[in-house]
Amino acid sequence: MEKTYNPKKIEEFLYNFWEKNGFFKPKYLKKPTFCIMMPPPNITGSLHMGHAFQQTIMDIIIRYNRMQGKNTLWQVGTDHAGIATQILVERKIYIQEHKTRQDYSRQDFIKKIWTWKKKANNVITKQMRRLGVSVDWQREKFTLDPDISAAVKEAFILLYQQNLIYQKKRLVHWDSKLETVVSDLEVEHRSVIGKMWFIRYPIYIENTFKKCTKYIVVSTTRPETILGDTAIAINKKHLKYSKFIGKYAISPLTNRKIPIIEDEYADLDKGTGCVKITPAHDFNDYQVGYRHKLPMISTFTFDGKIKNFSEVYDYKGKKSNFYDSYIPLQLQKLDILSARCKILEYLKNLNLIEKVEERNITIPYSERSGIIIEPILTNQWYLKTSKLSQEAIKSIKDKRIKFIPKQYENMFFSWMNNIEDWCISRQIWWGHRIPAWYDNKKNIYVGKNEKAIRQQYSIPKNIQLNQENDVLDTWFSSGLWTFSTLGWPKKTRLLKLFHSTDVLVSGFDIIFFWIARMIMLTMHFIKDKTGQSVVPFKQVYITGLIRDEHGQKMSKSKGNVIDPLDMIDGISLESLIKKRTQNLLQPSMSQTIVKNTIKTFPLGIAPTGTDALRFTFSALAANTRDIKWDMSRLLGYRNFCNKLWNASRFVLLNSQNHNFSCIVIKDEMLLVNKWILSECNDVIKFYRVSLDSYRFDLAANVLYEFIWNIFCDWYLEFVKSIICTCSEQDIYDTKNVLIHVLEVLLKLAHPIMPFITESIWQRVKLIKKISSKTIMLEPFPKYDVMLCNKQASLYVNWIKKIVVFIRNTRLKMNIKTNKLLSLFLFKTTDQQKIIIRHNMLWIKKIAFLDHIVLLKKTYTCKLAIKHIIDGSEIIIPMINVLDKELEIIKIKKELKKIGYRIFNLKKNISNVQFLRYAPEKVVLQKQMQLNELNTLYTQLSEQMNIFKNMKK
């Protein structure tokens, strides 16, 4: 082994060695099996800390189960990330070619994305390999692969045939920049200081020539929606306005006569207690409108402008002539915010604005484009989730799926019990195009392709069919992930062998996006022989969210993102600043980011290697929702890797040409060897319990404590003394134990730190003459009750305490190790005497003692350090150790200091004013301090006399 641990030199070499030899592949017929599905990362960028954290946890689980002899499959893949990918490629094309998507045909634009995808995917897979993930790369999937696309089509067709998919015009969250619907889960609600306008609505009077003198005042934060008003709702308990229920009001600008209805949605404690109802542009209004069968008036275009003419629909979404489509000419084609200003100007001129107030309001923003979301009435495809959700809820209640930690079940239930139908269509080009076709009469035909549809429905060639332009929501295809990747709809060997999968590792932020939808879709499509629904996974382990050292969410806009590879390989401050400030959506943040980066990483980031990073992730993986990243712990675990490397190097150097034999526990075996085997055995037990219960933080702590504090700091020191002092047989047995324990530790640590453990084990296997090619296929250590030895632990801990006491004494008295001490023991038990006699040689060596004496009577010399350890009196004589003149000088200085403190305390306590006004508690404390100092002064005076009477 090289003297210095250099992770860069071993990591890429070892990963290539593993992959080329096919160690990650499952055995297709072997049982028992173990399977994990990797949540497919988006192809839109490089892996971030969250990916690295979760993939490390998954790899620990996979390697742990593989070493237990299970047939493991870790299914890897990436997601096409519909909207995000299209945004990224459109931006790239605009920068490079000054063109937009509309400058290309749909087919040509998609070709450009595929070209970009190949490069992007290579970046992600390279990063995964650097992290050491032991996935079966030959089974890598992409959510737009032909076999996955076939599964998506099959799922859509079956759901449509079962009347679970339908098309309807409903209100959706609309992104006018991307011109597509976005999920309500992709809307960020921000609280801002905004304005609320109080607007007068005139009461309708039959005689239109008569001037109105009565008004209903309605408050709104969105005056532009006045164009789509179809009613005013009033609470029946409203003292001032309830008398108008059943009458009509005039909507300003359009002069539309709208009914005044009674509905409890009008909150007496909010605004004026009256609410204008705009069903086509507000979700709450949509519900009110549906209850009262109000028409819906759509006034906004898909690109965020005011229409030339409004579109009117009945409450079911069908075209209607209930109202005219009039929109004032001055407002037509204006963007929404400009239209707001114009409308407010008109209302002010008409004296219809009663007042304006500033207040906190909540505005929905698109997480995709960053613009304000507008609720818009559109025709979309929906999946009925009420029936599917019941099966999913039941699977959790029946404990067929367990959430770890358990509290996330409540989050799951709260959403599933209030679930609404899922809008599965998106108005983009990149994705799974919906397999539906329309004829010229807008009849819908769903099938695999146009040819199959014409055959199935006997549609002649002279009737033109046009395929639906919309694609499916990305989460629809990833919702089929656990079984589509295994070959469904075909009944493949893999599907039979590995489904249901064992555990899903994911973040709490996608419980609704992905986990719930996977459970619903899997249980609908996958059945066992008895027709029982099959769950996609048996356990869901929810990780916390990695935040920066200040507890802030890591984001590119904040400039606090840390690339995992920058910690593995290191990065200079200059390069880190450049990385954090390039392509910022808000360039004004650049100076702040530079300042914070210099403050946090003044010297850049030092390279630590993959194993240190993985160990840090494991140590931080507690059952908490938020996890603060800690660079100091990363550096500490880099030192831990060094410690393991150096300890292993010592073992290997001292085991050259050693003829290893199996460990046999014998009575005559040295106590420390029995002890280390017992301690190691306990570690196996606690470590396995921690991994089995997904407490990776506890597993890391158990391993760290044993390797650093027990194996390295104690056992290796014991071994050094044994090699120098003990018999050949003891040395041989010790080397056997040394190699055995090291290999056990390497196997235990391998799931967390695969590279360093493989590198060291490749050398250990030569000594042990092991034929296996890799540590990852070696059996994982098991707890052995026969190795448990509480007595050995008890007595070695007693010896350790004695050694620590001697070392502390040397430190306090400034006695160097080249000055050998004597150790006297008094009141020792018979067993303690046996332990000392049998282990005297190496104890003397490790503690730098010239001799150890078991006293029959107490030691009377006062110049000695005494201490009681486990009932035994430990005595270190100082009479021949210390320099007489030097010690007298030291004691005189100390006596002078203590005498001065005693004088001041006596003066304080004897002060009448102090005694009169000071609290009793303070007086008692001063008296106790004085007593303690007097005792210490007496003891030091006695020591002074002893030194003075010492003979030279």
Binding residues for ATP: 556
Indicate the annotated binding residues: 556
214 and 203 in contact (C-beta within 8 Å)? yes
DSSP 580: H
Instruction: For residues 255 and 514, give the distance between their C-alpha atoms in angstroms, rounded to a whole number.
Output: 47
Helices (H), 601-714: 610-620, 631-653, 671-692, 696-704
Structure tokens that stand for 721 in this block = 């003394």
Question: Could you give the count of Cα atoms lying within 13 Å of 684 in the half-sphere of its Cβ?
Answer: 22
- Pair of tokens at residue 793: 């632990």
DSSP state at residue 775: G
User: Which helix (H) or strand (E) segment is 416 a member of?
Assistant: helix 408-416
Q: Are the beta carbons of 376 and 215 closer than 8 angstroms? A: no
Distance of alpha carbon 421 from the chain centroid: 29
Cα–Cα distance measured from residue 899 to residue 50, given in angstroms and rounded to the nearest whole number: 62
DSSP 3-state of 78: strand
Mode of pairing for the β-strands spanning 231-234 and 256-262: parallel
Q: % helix / strand / coil in the chain, to the nearest 5?
A: 50, 20, 35
Between strands 215-220 and 33-37, the pairing is unpaired
User: At residue 950, what are phi and psi to the nearest 5 degrees?
Assistant: -65, 140
Residue with tokens 């390797």: 707
Record the tokens describing residue 366, joined without a space: 């698109």
Tokens of 931: 């007593």
Q: Which runs of consecutive H residues, i.e. helices, occur in 98-182?
A: 106-131, 146-161
* DSSP, res 589: G
Separation CA 270–CA 198 (nearest Å): 12
- Tell me the three state secondary structure of residue 829: coil
Cβ 909 vs Cβ 923: under 8 Å: yes
d(CA 467, CA 781): 59
Give the HSE-up count for residue 859: Cα atoms under 13 Å, Cβ half-sphere: 23
Handedness of CA 164, 165, 171, 173 (dihedral sign): positive
Structure tokens of 316? Answer: 């079911």
- Find out whether 168 and 379 touch, Cβ atoms under 8 Å: yes
CA distance 545 to 547: 6
Contact 829, 872 (CB under 8 A): yes
Three-class DSSP category at 707: helix
Question: What sign does the CA torsion over 540, 506, 426, 489 have?
Answer: negative
Sign of CA dihedral 671, 677, 680, 682: negative
With H, G, I as helix, E, B as strand and everything else as coil, classify residue 802. Answer: helix
Question: What single-letter DSSP state applies at residue 41?
Answer: P
- Listed in order, strand segments (DSSP E) in 384-500 are 402-404, 422-423, 425-426, 436-438, 444-446, 466-467, 471-472
Instruction: State the Cα–Cα distance between residues 251 and 78, nearest whole angstrom.
Output: 52
d(CA 577, CA 589): 12
Phi-psi group of 249: left, alpha or beta (phi > 0 → left; psi -120 to 50 → alpha; rest → beta): beta
CA–CA gap between residue 263 and residue 273 (Å, rounded): 11
The C-alpha atoms of residue 314 and residue 897 are separated, in whole angstroms, by 96
